[in-house]
Amino acid sequence: MNSSPQATAQQAFERLLGAATLLINTTPALSEFAAVPDDLHYSPATPIAKPVINSLQHAMPRASHRTQPLIDALHAVIPYAQWRTTYTAAQVGTRFVNTYGYIELYGPSGHYVSQQSRAFIGYWGADLFYPPHRHEAEEVYFVAAGSAAFAIDDQPAQMRRVEEVQIHTAFKSHSMQTGADNGVLCLVLWRGPGLADNATLNDG
Ligand code: ZN
C-alpha cells in the first residue's frame, strides 16, 4: 500500500467523486442536465485553505440519507482541497467571504479535469445574501444539506430544501439568501459555453 500524502488525498477525492457520481446518476434532474464526464483525470493540486473550513466542520446543516455520503466524503477532502471564493471582501463583505467557499470537483480547473461539464461543491453559511450575479454557462443547484431561497431576476424567491434543485439559464441574473439559522451546502453543475468562466456580480 502506498500511503503517501498524495495517495491519501487521491483516495479521499475518489470517494467524493464516487458519492457525487451516485447522486447525479440517481437524480434525473442532474443526470439529464449533465452526465458525469467520461474524460475525467485526477490532477494533483496544492491545497488552499479558506476560513469556510471552520464552518464546514462546525456548522454543517442537516442532510438526508441520500446526501449524507457526499457530506461525509467532503469532510475527508477538506485538508486536501483547493478552497475558493470567487469574490473579495470588498465586493461581498468580510462575513460573506469568511463563511462561504467552494471546491471544483471536476471541470476545466477542477481536482478532476474535464472539458465536458463542471461540478462544484459549495457552502454558504447562515444568514448570508449572495447578491445578484450571472454567467454564461447553464447551471443547476442541488441542495445536499440545509436550505436557501433562490431568486431569478426580480421574481419572488423559491425555497429549496435537501434534494431539491434550482436551474439557472445562460446569463440569467440570480441571487440566494440562506436562513437565519442554517446555511446550505450544494452540488452545482455547469454545462455549455462559458464552462471555464467565473460568475460575476451584477454590481461587481
Ligand atoms: Zn450561478
Residues with CB in 5 Å of ion ligand 1 = 139
Dig out the grid coordinates for 57 from the structure.
466542520
The reported pLDDT for the residue numbered 6 is 86
Please tell me the distance from the alpha carbon of residue 27 to that of residue 142, in angstroms, as a whole number: 9
- Compute the distance from residue 152 Cα to the ligand 1 centre, in Å: 10
Q: Distance from first CA to last CA of the chain, Å, rounded? A: 49
- The per-residue pLDDT string of the chain (204 residues; one tens digit each, 9 = 90 and over) reads 556 888 899 999 999 999 999 999 999 999 999 999 999 999 999 999 999 999 999 999 999 999 999 999 999 999 999 999 999 999 999 999 999 999 999 999 999 999 999 999 999 999 999 999 999 999 999 999 999 999 999 899 999 999 999 999 999 999 999 999 999 999 999 999 999 999 999 986
- Compute the distance from residue 168 Cα to the ligand 1 centre, in Å: 7
The reported pLDDT for the residue numbered 1 is 52
- Compute the distance from residue 166 Cα to the ligand 1 centre, in Å: 10
Site of grid cell 454557462: 137
- Compute the distance from residue 132 Cα to the ligand 1 centre, in Å: 9
Please tell me the distance from the alpha carbon of residue 98 to that of residue 114, in angstroms, as a whole number: 29
State the DSSP code for 117: -
The reported pLDDT for the residue numbered 4 is 85
Q: Could you tell me if 98 and 52 are in contact, meaning their C-beta atoms sit under 8 angstroms apart?
A: yes
- Compute the distance from residue 139 Cα to the ligand 1 centre, in Å: 6
- Compute the distance from residue 180 Cα to the ligand 1 centre, in Å: 22
- Compute the distance from residue 21 Cα to the ligand 1 centre, in Å: 21
The reported pLDDT for the residue numbered 203 is 84
Please tell me the distance from the alpha carbon of residue 55 to that of residue 100, in angstroms, as a whole number: 8
Please tell me the distance from the alpha carbon of residue 77 to that of residue 13, in angstroms, as a whole number: 6
The reported pLDDT for the residue numbered 5 is 81
| 133 CB-contact burial (10 Å; exposed 0-12 / middle 13-18 / buried 19+) | buried
- Compute the distance from residue 69 Cα to the ligand 1 centre, in Å: 24
- Compute the distance from residue 18 Cα to the ligand 1 centre, in Å: 24
Please tell me the distance from the alpha carbon of residue 177 to that of residue 203, in angstroms, as a whole number: 17
